[in-house]
Amino acid sequence: MDITSIFAGIGALRNAVELVKTGKELLPKPQQEAVTRSLEEAERQARLAEAELAKGLGYQLCRCTFPPQIMLAVDTPFGREDRCPACRSMTEFNKPLSAMPDRQRTWMSR
């Protein structure tokens, strides 16, 4: 099994969870609550599997949330860096934009 297939499987799982979320409103209230808890756990497990796979492929992870966020590559005036989509910290600085010097924070907040 190749990596593309694994990512596709994780994406399909996420899509299935979203479909079940839309249909849960048709259930009686007590069953809705049980389905909601199960869906939240399924989403968490899917995010964890995605993060583990990314880590195995060499991607940087940010620990601002659990499961960890997969850092995305961005071009900066200082070179190519990885940035967390949630807290916006970067690998080189490993701190939020608010903690960076003004010249860097100004460019990155655009």
Which pTM does this prediction carry?
Answer: 0.61
- Give domain status of residue 48, yes or no: yes
- Give domain status of residue 50, yes or no: yes
- Give domain status of residue 41, yes or no: yes
- Give domain status of residue 23, yes or no: yes
Q: Give the span between the Cα atoms of 94 and 96, in whole angstroms.
A: 7
State residue 39 phi and psi, 5-degree precision. Answer: -65, -40
Domain that includes residue 76, residue range: 69-108
Provide the domain count of the chain: 2
Same domain, 53 and 7: yes
Residue 76, strand partner residues = 79
pLDDT digits (tens, 9 = 90+) for 19-59: 877 878 888 888 888 888 888 888 888 888 888 888 888 88
pLDDT digits (tens, 9 = 90+) for 51-81: 888 888 888 899 899 889 999 988 888 788 8
